[in-house]
Protein backbone atom coordinates (compact mmCIF):
# COMPACT_ATOMS: atom_id res chain seq x y z
CA UNK A 1 0.00 0.00 0.00
CA UNK A 2 1.27 3.47 -0.92
CA UNK A 3 0.05 5.74 1.86
CA UNK A 4 1.75 8.76 0.28
CA UNK A 5 -0.12 8.30 -3.00
CA UNK A 6 -3.35 7.93 -1.04
CA UNK A 7 -2.78 11.28 0.75
CA UNK A 8 -1.73 13.14 -2.43
CA UNK A 9 -4.71 11.82 -4.39
CA UNK A 10 -7.05 12.85 -1.58
CA UNK A 11 -5.66 16.41 -1.60
CA UNK A 12 -6.07 16.60 -5.37
CA UNK A 13 -9.68 15.39 -5.27
CA UNK A 14 -11.17 16.83 -2.07
CA UNK A 15 -13.51 19.67 -3.12
CA UNK A 16 -12.39 22.10 -0.39
CA UNK A 17 -8.69 21.40 -0.91
CA UNK A 18 -9.15 21.79 -4.66
CA UNK A 19 -10.86 25.15 -4.11
CA UNK A 20 -7.59 26.44 -2.62
CA UNK A 21 -4.96 24.39 -4.44
CA UNK A 22 -6.60 23.71 -7.79
CA UNK A 23 -5.24 20.16 -7.65
CA UNK A 24 -1.66 21.40 -7.10
CA UNK A 25 -0.56 18.80 -4.53
CA UNK A 26 2.38 16.48 -5.18
CA UNK A 27 5.50 14.90 -3.71
CA UNK A 28 7.80 16.97 -5.96
CA UNK A 29 7.45 20.65 -6.77
CA UNK A 30 6.73 21.26 -10.45
CA UNK A 31 9.19 23.23 -12.61
CA UNK A 32 6.52 25.82 -13.43
CA UNK A 33 5.05 26.70 -10.04
CA UNK A 34 1.61 28.23 -9.66
CA UNK A 35 0.67 29.27 -6.13
CA UNK A 36 -0.81 28.22 -3.82
CA UNK A 37 0.55 24.70 -3.96
CA UNK A 38 1.34 21.88 -1.56
CA UNK A 39 4.05 19.24 -1.27
CA UNK A 40 3.62 16.03 0.72
CA UNK A 41 6.83 14.51 2.13
CA UNK A 42 7.00 11.33 4.17
CA UNK A 43 9.47 12.06 6.94
CA UNK A 44 9.13 8.86 8.94
CA UNK A 45 6.80 6.33 10.39
CA UNK A 46 6.64 2.67 11.16
CA UNK A 47 4.21 -0.15 11.48
CA UNK A 48 1.66 0.98 14.07
CA UNK A 49 1.98 -2.36 15.86
CA UNK A 50 5.38 -3.88 16.50
CA UNK A 51 4.27 -7.34 15.42
CA UNK A 52 2.79 -6.44 12.03
CA UNK A 53 3.56 -4.35 8.97
CA UNK A 54 -0.08 -4.47 7.90
CA UNK A 55 -0.94 -1.19 9.66
CA UNK A 56 1.16 1.75 8.46
CA UNK A 57 1.62 4.79 10.69
CA UNK A 58 3.16 7.34 8.31
CA UNK A 59 4.57 10.70 9.42
CA UNK A 60 4.27 13.51 6.89
CA UNK A 61 5.34 17.08 6.47
CA UNK A 62 2.87 18.97 4.33
CA UNK A 63 4.25 22.28 3.01
CA UNK A 64 1.79 24.84 1.67
CA UNK A 65 3.11 27.88 -0.20
CA UNK A 66 1.20 30.99 -1.23
CA UNK A 67 1.80 34.59 -2.24
CA UNK A 68 0.47 36.13 0.98
CA UNK A 69 0.37 35.05 4.62
CA UNK A 70 -3.43 35.09 4.57
CA UNK A 71 -3.58 32.81 1.50
CA UNK A 72 -1.11 30.39 3.10
CA UNK A 73 -2.99 30.34 6.42
CA UNK A 74 -6.40 29.92 4.75
CA UNK A 75 -5.15 27.07 2.54
CA UNK A 76 -3.48 25.35 5.50
CA UNK A 77 -6.61 25.68 7.65
CA UNK A 78 -8.65 24.12 4.85
CA UNK A 79 -6.19 21.24 4.41
CA UNK A 80 -6.04 20.53 8.14
CA UNK A 81 -9.82 20.34 8.27
CA UNK A 82 -10.01 18.17 5.14
CA UNK A 83 -7.35 15.75 6.39
CA UNK A 84 -8.77 15.46 9.90
CA UNK A 85 -12.45 15.22 8.94
CA UNK A 86 -12.60 13.60 5.51
CA UNK A 87 -9.45 11.55 4.90
CA UNK A 88 -10.34 8.79 7.40
CA UNK A 89 -12.32 6.00 5.79
CA UNK A 90 -12.15 3.56 2.92
CA UNK A 91 -10.46 4.95 -0.20
CA UNK A 92 -9.03 3.57 -3.41
CA UNK A 93 -5.69 2.12 -2.36
CA UNK A 94 -6.38 1.61 1.33
CA UNK A 95 -8.30 2.37 4.49
CA UNK A 96 -7.30 5.36 6.62
CA UNK A 97 -8.09 4.57 10.24
CA UNK A 98 -6.74 7.75 11.87
CA UNK A 99 -5.31 11.18 11.10
CA UNK A 100 -3.56 13.26 13.73
CA UNK A 101 -2.33 16.79 13.12
CA UNK A 102 0.85 17.22 15.16
CA UNK A 103 2.15 20.67 14.23
CA UNK A 104 1.24 23.77 12.26
CA UNK A 105 3.86 26.50 11.77
CA UNK A 106 3.94 29.51 9.45
CA UNK A 107 7.06 31.19 8.07
CA UNK A 108 8.57 32.79 4.99
CA UNK A 109 10.45 30.63 2.48
CA UNK A 110 13.38 32.59 0.99
CA UNK A 111 14.07 29.83 -1.57
CA UNK A 112 11.60 31.53 -3.91
CA UNK A 113 12.03 34.83 -5.70
CA UNK A 114 10.02 36.72 -4.64
CA UNK A 115 9.77 34.99 -1.27
CA UNK A 116 6.68 32.90 -0.61
CA UNK A 117 4.72 32.42 2.58
CA UNK A 118 4.70 28.86 3.84
CA UNK A 119 2.79 26.81 6.37
CA UNK A 120 4.28 23.49 7.48
CA UNK A 121 1.84 20.92 8.76
CA UNK A 122 2.93 17.79 10.59
CA UNK A 123 0.47 14.93 10.22
CA UNK A 124 0.36 11.26 11.13
CA UNK A 125 -1.76 9.02 8.91
CA UNK A 126 -2.58 5.50 10.06
CA UNK A 127 -3.75 3.21 7.25
CA UNK A 128 -3.94 -0.37 6.04
CA UNK A 129 -4.71 -2.15 2.74
Find the mean pLDDT for residues 85-103. Answer: 95
pLDDT confidence of residue 49? 59
The answer to whether residue 93 scores a pLDDT higher than 60 is yes
Tens digits of residue pLDDT in 31-57 = 999 999 999 999 998 765 566 678 899
- Domain range holding 118? 3-128
Q: Assign residue 74 the CATH number of its domain.
A: 3.30.2000.30
**Burial of 54 per CB tally in 10 Å (0-12, 13-18, 19+):** exposed
Number of structural domains the chain divides into: 1
The overall average pLDDT reported for the chain is 93
The residues, ordered by sequence, that sit 6+ positions from 111 with a Cβ below 8 Å of its Cβ are: none
The residues, ordered by sequence, that sit 6+ positions from 110 with a Cβ below 8 Å of its Cβ are: none
Amino acid sequence: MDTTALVVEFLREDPDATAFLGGRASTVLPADKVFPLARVTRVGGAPALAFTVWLDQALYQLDVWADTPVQAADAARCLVQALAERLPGSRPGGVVTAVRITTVAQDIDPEFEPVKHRVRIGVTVTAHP
